[in-house]
Amino acid sequence: MAHDSHDSHEYIPEIAVDRNGKEHVVQGWQGDFEGAKLGFWLFMLTEVLMFGAMFMTLSYYFTLHHAEFIKASSELDRVLGGVNTVVLLISALTMGLGLLKMRSGDVKGAKLMIWATILLALIFLGVKALEWSNDYKEGIFLGLSTMQAGGGKSFGELLFFGMYFTMTGLHGFHIIIGIGLMLWLLKRINSGKVSPEHHILHFNIALYWDLVHLIWVFVFPYFYMTGAGGAIHG
């Protein structure tokens, strides 16, 4: 964490001396890059567990209603889903290159790359919105009468679409949070709090973005590709 110079809790380097007179550097909590990285990874594990629990729910119902899940999956728009996959893939690249630029001292280039990532994230959300509105027109949306019990859909389809909206929705929510984080990062870069020497925030937000991508890597095949190719026995 970067501080202004007159901040009262600055780190004063300290040495502990053992009985043989050997000196050992004491790690302080201030400016601990490895600690901050470890902390953020631990946070990401909680995200993994969250989505893991949802995937477990999904697998549970997939086991119960195999054929119906495949039927429901084949109704999703694979083209839009595929476009979003590629968009997110490229955004992971721009994010990574931005971090690389930051570390190599090119702050301006880094900012450009973050803006590019934000743009791609917005495209992702736009495509998602288009997709959801298409679903809505086809009578697939939470709360519609066609999505109620006895509304003409089987258990498997209802559960599939219920989880589809939940998981893509929560994933989209993570994208929105990511955009917010990137805007905050830009602000911190502009005020000089994130710099090539103190880039832990940039590092961690890049990790976050990769995690969001990682989740999509599993969300996409599970929902969109399960019913591809017309296979009924998956």
Partner 1 sequence: MANHTTVDYNAEKGSYYKVLFGLLALTALTFIQPSMFLTDMTFGVQLLIGAVKAWIILMYYMHLKGETLIGWTVVFAVFITAFFFGIVMIDVNNFQFADVSHITSPAQ
Partner 2 sequence: MSKSYFDETHCAFGHPKSTFMQWMLTIDHKRIGIMYAVVMFTFFFVAVAAALTMRFELYAPGQQFIEAHVFNQAFTLHGVIMIFLFIIPGIPAVFGNIVMPLMIGAKDVSFPRLNWFTFWLYILGCIIALSSLFNFNIADGKLVFNFADTGWTFYAPYSLNTDTNVVTTLVAAFILGMASILTGLNFLVTIHRLRAPGMDFFKMPLFVWGIYATAWIQLLATPVVGITLVLALLEKYFGIGIFDPAKGGDPVLFQHLFWIYSHPAVYLMILPAFGIMSEIIPAFSRREIFGYRTIALSSASIAGIGYLVWGHHLFTSGMSDVAKTIFSFLTFFVAIPTGIKFYDWIATMYKGKIVLATPMLWALGTIITFAIGGLSGVTIAMIGSDIHLQDTYYTIAHFHYAMLGGVVFLFFAGIHYWFPLVFGKMYNETKAKAAFYILFVGFNLLWFPMFIAGYLGMPRRYFDYLPEFQIYHQISFWGAIIFVIGLVFMFYTLIQGIRKGKPSGVNPWNATTLEWHLPSSPPPLENHTKVPYVDFRPYEYHHGQPVVKFDENMKRID
**Residue from 13, 16, 197, 233 in contact with partner 2 (CB under 8 A):** 16
**Partner from partner 2, partner 1, none binding residue 90, C-beta < 5-8 Å depending on class:** partner 1
Percent helix, strand and coil across the chain, each to the nearest 5:
70, 5, 25
Beta-strand runs (E) in 27-152: none
**By the 8 A CB rule, do 200 and 37 touch?**
yes
Q: What is the DSSP letter of 5?
A: T
**Partner from partner 1, partner 2, none binding residue 177, C-beta < 5-8 Å depending on class:** none
**Candidates 35-43, 119-127, 132-140, 217-225; binding stretch for partner 2 (CB under 8 A):** 35-43
What single-letter amino acid sits at 107?
V
**Candidates 72-80, 94-102, 164-172, 194-202; binding stretch for partner 2 (CB under 8 A):** 164-172
**By the 8 A CB rule, do 197 and 6 touch?**
no
Q: Is 25 helix (H, G, I), strand (E, B) or coil?
A: strand
Q: Is 182 helix (H, G, I), strand (E, B) or coil?
A: helix
Residues 124-163, mask of contacts with partner 2 (x by CB under 8 A): ------------------xx---xxxx---xxx-xx--xx
Q: Of the two residues 133 and 148, which places its CB atom closer to partner 1 in the complex?
A: 148
52 binds partner 1 (CB under 8 A): yes
**By the 8 A CB rule, do 204 and 40 touch?**
yes
Inter-CA distances, 178 with 42, 71, 80, 127, Å: 18, 33, 21, 17
What single-letter amino acid sits at 202?
H
First to last CA, the chain: 50
Residues 77-96, mask of contacts with partner 2 (x by CB under 8 A): --------------------
**Partner from partner 1, partner 2, none binding residue 207, C-beta < 5-8 Å depending on class:** partner 1
Inter-CA distances, 196 with 22, 52, 200, 202, 206, Å: 33, 35, 9, 10, 14
And the tokens for 195? 């710099």
| Closest distance of CB 195 from partner 1, Å | 11
**Residue from 29, 43, 136, 155 in contact with partner 1 (CB under 8 A):** 155
Binding site for partner 1 (CB under 8 A): 31, 33-34, 37-38, 41-42, 45, 48-49, 52-53, 55-56, 59-60, 63-64, 78, 82, 85-86, 89-90, 92-93, 96-97, 100-101, 103-106, 109, 154-155, 196-200, 207, 210-211, 213-214, 217-218, 220-222, 225-226, 228-229, 231, 233-234
